[in-house]
Amino acid sequence: MKTVIRPYGDTTGDGMTQVSFTLPLPHDKKAEGAALQLAAKMGLEPAMLVHAKQMGDGFTFFVIYGSVRHLVELDKVVVVERDFPLLTAKEVNTVVKQKMRRKLSVVGACIGTDAHTVGIDAILNLKGIAGEKGLEYYRELKVVNLGAQITVPELVAAAKAEKADAVLVSQVVTQRDAHLHNTREMSAAFREALPADKRPLLIVGGPRFDELMTGELGVDRIFGRGTTPREVASYLVHALITEKAERKKAVAA
Amino acid sequence: MSSNKLGLDPALVHRARALAAKAGRPVVDMARSHTTVSVERAVLRLAGVTGADPDGIPWVNRLVDAVRNDVGLGHGVALPVFHALAEHGLDPTAAELTLLAQKAAAGSVRFDLPTGKAVTAAKKASRRQVAAGIKQIDRNRADRDRMIKRYGDPKQRPWIYLIVATGDIYEDIPQAQAAARAGADVIAVIRSTGQSLLDYVPEGATREGFAGTYATQENFRLMRAALDESSKELGRYVRLTNYASGLCMPEIATLAGLQRLDMMLNDSMYGILFRDINPIRTFVDQRFSRQIHARAGIIINTGEDNYLTTADAVEAAHTVTVSQLLNEYFAHEAGLADWQLGLGHAFEINPELPESFRLELAHALLARELFPEAPLKWMPPTKHMTGDVFRGNLLDGFFNLVGALTGQGILLVGMMTEAVVTPWLSDRDIALQNVRYVLGAAGNLHEDFVPAPDGFIQRRAHQVLDEAIDLLEKIEDDTLLNAIADGTFGIMKRPAHRGKGLDGVAKHDDGYYNPATEILEAPAKEEQQ
């Protein structure tokens, strides 16, 4: 596999890229020059200014097409790859039933002031997302969806009451990094309230999270944009059943 | 506009309304026999109590809490408060009421219920003082009418409704004025997330908020004054919208009336379903706030769009119709006229679904035909906005086209960056360009658009109306409160004994007195006689 690539417009290696932005300038020749200077600094060279439109008194919107000189080095790309097998709902149910011999308890919520439950609902509600049923559909999972604007103490209390094996938290709308503060607050509260072996698996999800930040945020897993209920269910089985069994085996050996 | 493009059976439409009234009646009876801390605080705000303690807790809160501690809420606060004024030798004025609140907060006043002649005196004094607040609302309404006469209404329908939400009122103002210049007829200042669950209204101009700006009396005043300037500059009256919802719904409605806001989001069930606010609290607060809106000439916007973001927009289409009918019933009962009913609905069908556009047309036209005199509020796609901004812009164009084809009254401008960022200046400009193109190219297409008799659109509309009637029949059997408890709307289950704010509800005792309600209901009473 090629390890260095460039963006593709209509020819391999042409590097063609399209960007749009606004500058706080009225539309004139100088503003267009300013836009092209910015494009050059972004690595777009040569750049074509294809659209410029003044908005109100002192702002102009630009669309620019150009060839970007940067190269993408594929061997230096770091992502969180799925490190667990993707199971069907049936397989999830079977494993839980055989290995846990009880229902796997999941508690979900939107914490803080975020009232956007689309994320947690897509993962938990029976209806699910994109034709894939949510965790409520899984016979061997017991799901409690607390909904929106749940405080951290409420969440901890609910997780205790439900003897949660896993806690799922979704954060969609965020300003000034509220999703990070909320998540840290949540993981700290669980660390304080429960000893390590009693603590549920902590999972957060939302489009603004960086999947690499688990350690920094004190959670077990972060799911980003486009995660499906099946991936989450498979991860639960992997983390709560498969990995635990492997650890036990290792200790015994 | 009652054109009957869908061939709806008038007997069925009549039946749907009758069922909604039957389902709503017990809720109205409940609302009439209860009060809440926020209703009582609204009464004090009308009487002129302003300001907050050093911790930012408004004096109306401190006063209501003190009264509640001493004598409970069941008689209302007007009698004990105005009785205490007299007992302490204070005059029944706004300034001395605020002074009483300060004394009460310091623990130096004890409240009692007046008896005998003192009752009449307290009633009279409180009614006079509250009437002054309502008079201010009346003056504002007359001012608005005068300005509309001078500057004019928007030239086109639907009115173009745009949102600003920076968190900082001093950033919001230039953004709102720029939006008005770019073509917005209505500016909505989104509230900070979480305000709906605050049991007090923050004070003063605010510069910090989360995904929105706090609704405060001072923020209302500042923004309305700025839009008055814009109205003058642009030669059309630019309307201002905010949110009378959450735990302080009656107070925010009151502040809106006092600062001449023009539209308020004020749904009958939104707080229950989406904020987990107690159902009884919501219905009691809602009735009072709608009475204020009626008096203030404010257009309410209802929130049916929200049902479609949690439930499937095709399967749950009839719940929108049911909610619109209930909202209409509650609104009429509270004294709102048809022109004040911005009943909500939304373009939320999955665009991957075959015929999704025709289904949208059928649903939008059904709302139009059922409520011919109401300025329906047409809400843009949010649920199926994926972050693909190019596709989003196309979807918004089709949304705008449905608005033009079905004669909607208020069009909330859809943003292609929905679910990505709070709108940028350029997002708003592109979105307005989209609206202008569609309204310019096809704004009057509703004149030509008549669905084929017994065609797909007509049949779909009939089906939704039938399903709505079935659901209303079930609600009537089961009662509305139980239907809400069972998760009938928006899949959320909300039992009447649960939810936030229940502890702020009180049943009326014998001798409950609320001068505001008495004044607001007076014209209706005279009409009945």
> Going by DSSP bridges, is the β-strand pair B505-507/B34-36 parallel, antiparallel, or unpaired?
antiparallel
pLDDT in tens, A66-115: 999 999 999 999 888 888 999 999 999 999 999 999 999 999 998 876 66
Helices (H), B343-443: 356-370, 389-405, 425-442
Residue A84 domain-assigned (yes or no): no
Residue with the larger pLDDT of the pair A8 and B276: A8
pLDDT at A180 over 60: yes
Per-residue pLDDT band for B423 (boundaries 50, 70, 90) equals confident
B312 Cβ contact partners less than 8 Å away, ≥ 6 residues apart:
A127, B350
Average pLDDT in the B1-12 region?
85
The pLDDT of residue A253 is 66
Average pLDDT in the B10-23 region?
97
Last residue of a domain, one of A74, A98, A132: A74
* Cβ–Cβ gap B167/A175 under 8 Å: yes
Residue with the larger pLDDT of the pair B447 and A130: B447
Give the lowest-confidence range in A17-31, B29-43, B348-362, B515-529. Answer: B515-529
Query: Token pair of A120, please?
Result: 């947690």
pLDDT in tens, B88-98: 999 999 999 99
The pLDDT of residue B1 is 44
- Active-site residues of B: which are they? 270, 305, 377
Last residue of a domain, one of A12, A42, A74: A74
* Cβ–Cβ gap A149/B194 under 8 Å: yes
Query: Token pair of B8, please?
Result: 């709806």
The answer to whether residue A212 neighbours chain B at the CB level (below 8 Å) is: no
Residue A159 domain-assigned (yes or no): yes
* Cβ–Cβ gap A149/B275 under 8 Å: yes
- Calpha distance B399→B396 (Å, rounded): 5
Average pLDDT in the A236-242 region?
92
pLDDT at A250 over 80: no
Per-residue pLDDT band for A251 (boundaries 50, 70, 90) equals confident
Same domain for A67 and A105: no
Highest mean pLDDT: which range of A116-125, B383-392, B414-423, B458-467:
B458-467
Same domain for A59 and A176: no
- Calpha distance B398→B395 (Å, rounded): 5
Q: How far is A3 from chain B (nearest CA, A)?
A: 28
The answer to whether residue B211 neighbours chain A at the CB level (below 8 Å) is: yes
Residue A181 domain-assigned (yes or no): yes
Per-residue pLDDT band for B527 (boundaries 50, 70, 90) equals very low
8 Å CB contact between B281 and B324 = no
* Cβ–Cβ gap B197/A149 under 8 Å: yes
Average pLDDT in the B288-301 region?
98
pLDDT in tens, B226-280: 999 999 999 999 999 999 999 999 999 999 999 999 999 999 888 888 778 999 9
Same domain for A227 and A138: yes
Same domain for A215 and A192: yes
Name the residue among B121, B130, B185 with its Cα closest to residue B411.
B185
- Calpha distance A112→A179 (Å, rounded): 8
Please give the tally of structural domains in chain A.
2
The answer to whether residue B275 neighbours chain A at the CB level (below 8 Å) is: yes
CATH number at residue A116: 3.40.50.280
- Calpha distance A227→B141 (Å, rounded): 51
The pLDDT of residue B192 is 83
Last residue of a domain, one of A74, A97, A132: A74
Q: Name the β-bridge partners of A55.
A: A59
Residue A83 domain-assigned (yes or no): no
Residue with the larger pLDDT of the pair A16 and B167: A16
Residue A226 domain-assigned (yes or no): yes
The pLDDT of residue B529 is 38
**Helix, strand, coil: what percent of chain B each, to 5?**
55, 10, 35
Residue A82 domain-assigned (yes or no): no
Q: How far is A121 from chain B (nearest CA, A)?
A: 8
- Calpha distance A23→B242 (Å, rounded): 30
What percentage of residues in chain B have a pLDDT greater than 70? 97
Same domain for A98 and A173: yes
pLDDT at A148 over 80: no
Query: Token pair of A46, please?
Result: 């040569």
Q: How far is A247 from chain B (nearest CA, A)?
A: 40
> Going by DSSP bridges, is the β-strand pair A44-55/B377-379 parallel, antiparallel, or unpaired?
unpaired
Residue A21 domain-assigned (yes or no): yes
Neighbours of A228 (CB within 10 A): 19
User: Which residues does chain A have within 8 Å of residue B491's beta carbon, measured at their own beta carbons?
Assistant: 125, 127
H or E element, residue A98: none
Q: Name the β-bridge partners of B412.
A: B161
* Cβ–Cβ gap B426/A55 under 8 Å: yes
CATH number at residue A64: 3.30.30.60
- List the domains of chain B with CATH numbers: 154-449 (3.20.20.440)
ipTM of the complex: 0.83
Residue with the larger pLDDT of the pair B221 and A57: B221
Same domain for A137 and A107: yes
pLDDT in tens, B334-387: 999 999 999 999 999 999 999 999 999 999 999 999 999 999 999 999 888 888
To the nearest 10°, report the CA torsion of B246, B248, B251, B252.
-40
* C-alpha of B128 from chain center: 28
pTM exceeding 0.90: no
Average pLDDT in the B150-179 region?
93
CB pairs under 8 A between A and B: 58
B85-113: burial string, b at 16+ Cβ within 10 Å, e else: beeeebebebebbbbbbbbbbeeebebeb
Give me the domain span that covers residue A12: 4-74
Same domain for A212 and A248: yes
* Mean pLDDT computed over every residue of chain A: 89
- Calpha distance A178→B211 (Å, rounded): 11
pLDDT at A127 over 70: no
Tell me which of B234, B426, B494 to substitute to probe the interface with A (most A C-beta atoms closer than 10 Å). Answer: B426
Cα three-residue angle B94-B95-B101, rounded to 5 degrees: 90
Say which of B193, B425, B426 has its CB closest to residue A115.
B193
Same domain for A202 and A95: yes
Same domain for A229 and A145: yes
Per-residue pLDDT band for B528 (boundaries 50, 70, 90) equals very low
- Calpha distance B269→A177 (Å, rounded): 31
The answer to whether residue A105 neighbours chain B at the CB level (below 8 Å) is: no
Give the lowest-confidence range in B145-154, B283-292, B299-308, B465-474. Answer: B299-308
The pLDDT of residue B425 is 87
Residue A98 domain-assigned (yes or no): yes
- Calpha distance B130→B113 (Å, rounded): 19
Q: What is the largest CA-CA distance in chain B?
A: 74
Same domain for A67 and A96: no
The pLDDT of residue A161 is 93
Q: How far is A225 from chain B (nearest CA, A)?
A: 10
* Cβ–Cβ gap B310/A121 under 8 Å: yes
Same domain for A159 and A102: yes
* Mean pLDDT computed over every residue of chain B: 93
Neighbours of B208 (CB within 10 A): 10
Same domain for A14 and A125: no
8 Å CB contact between A159 and A190 = yes
